Structure 1
Amino acid sequence: MEANPLLEILMKLRFTAGLSEEDQDKLAAIARQRKFRAGETLFTEGSDHKDLYVICSGRVEICMTIPARGCLPVLTLEAGDLVGWSTILQQGEMTATVAAIDETEVIAINAEALRALCDADHDIGYQIMQRIARALSQRLVACRLQVLDMYGEQPGQTFQSEKGAVE
């Protein structure tokens, strides 16, 4: 029997590592490899997109449109990270634009087929949703740190609280 190259890749990726070989085989059946050149857009904010991506190699930048400022970078992702999670949750339009920084290879998983798989097999559904939740939690922490960095105190700056001045 010939080895499935997608299965071999899925076994090594942070997002899918630890899933049983049977579950990874199910994912491989609804997935395909895609490559993006540096500077190429994976999807754009506001578009309807059908795939969830797991990055195999390379890096991508997530940008969001800010009125009067344009599309600004908010996060960089790399191998093992998940991109396009909102499509699995059927949220409609994509919430950001994602472009490859370097040549990037991804595993594209059809979101509709993945939802059907998760509905049919609740064990894999739980594993996938747990991993998506973990990825979203990490993004939330990254955003919080970014906000703290943007609005953080400057050295020597004093803040006034109810209890008095705070250095």
Structure 2
Amino acid sequence: MEIQQLQEHLQQLRFTSGLSVEDLKKLAAISRFQDYPRNATIFTEGTEHRDLYIILSGRVEICMTISARGCLPVLTLEEGDLVGWSSILKQGEMTATVVAVEETRLIAIDADALAVVCEQDHDIGYQIMRRVALALSQRLVASRLQVLDMYAVTDEAHTLKQGDASE
């Protein structure tokens, strides 16, 4: 029964939309629901983790540890977004900490089993990796925009600086 529910949810999410019914069945067979209360840590930066997640409902915050500043939020993700991509790439340790900022339901996909599915069926493998690459490129753009925003000269600061130069 849970596999049928997983398949129905996977069919509706943007990360898996457009996959064939057979591909969705394969994903559902290696997936499970996971629920997290508000403020629960899903995984921690620097730890090994074996699941790839798709957010079914709720929101999560991605935080990165900065020396002397602690774990700082860098991005918030919502329904349909991918979390835990490092596990599918077998990169090793997680690159960030992820915390549920509100009650959150995830679909957890066993990354090792997903790698086997992708290896056995290159068509689904291509689709999954293409979607992972798209998610990563969107995160890269969001990160670049945040960096630009952090270093942007505000109009007020720019005016003050020009005023200093004219004196």
> Which TM-score applies when normalising by structure 1?
0.92
Within a 5 Å distance, the mapping from 1:37-116 to structure 2 comes to 37-116=37-116
Paired residues of 2:3 and 2:28 also in contact (CA < 8 A): no
Deviation at 1:154, TM superposition (A): 1.4
Within 2, Cα distance between the matches of 1:2 and 1:55? 17
Deviation at 1:3, TM superposition (A): 7.7
Within 1, Cα distance between the matches of 2:11 and 2:62? 25
Paired residues of 2:55 and 2:78 also in contact (CA < 8 A): yes
2:155 is paired with a residue whose SS is coil
Paired residues of 2:61 and 2:74 also in contact (CA < 8 A): yes
- Structure-2 residue corresponding to 1:121: 121
Indicate the percent of aligned positions where both proteins have the same amino acid: 67
Residues 33, 144 of structure 1: alpha-carbon distance in 2 compared, 3 angstrom cutoff: same
Deviation at 1:153, TM superposition (A): 1.9
Q: Which protein is richer in helix relative to its size?
A: 2
- Structure-1 residue corresponding to 2:31: 31
- Structure-2 residue corresponding to 1:155: 155
Within 2, Cα distance between the matches of 1:126 and 1:78? 24
Residues 68, 31 of structure 1: alpha-carbon distance in 2 compared, 3 angstrom cutoff: same
Please state if 1:7 is matched with 2:7.
yes
Within 1, Cα distance between the matches of 2:13 and 2:42? 19
CA offsets 1:96-135 (integer angstroms, 9 cap, x no match):
0000001000000000000000000000000000000000
Within 1, Cα distance between the matches of 2:24 and 2:32? 13
Deviation at 1:136, TM superposition (A): 0.2
Within 2, Cα distance between the matches of 1:3 and 1:112? 18
Q: Which runs of 5+ in 2 are unaligned?
A: 160-167
Q: Which protein is richer in strand relative to its size?
A: 1
> Which amino acid in the other structure matches residue 119 of structure 1?
E
1:79 is paired with a residue whose SS is coil
**Off by >6 Å, runs of 4+ in structure 1:** none
1:4 is paired with a residue whose SS is helix
CA offsets 1:44-70 (integer angstroms, 9 cap, x no match):
001110000000000000000000000
Residues 69, 119 of structure 1: alpha-carbon distance in 2 compared, 3 angstrom cutoff: same
Count of matched residue positions in the alignment of Structure 1 and Structure 2: 158
2:133 is paired with a residue whose SS is helix
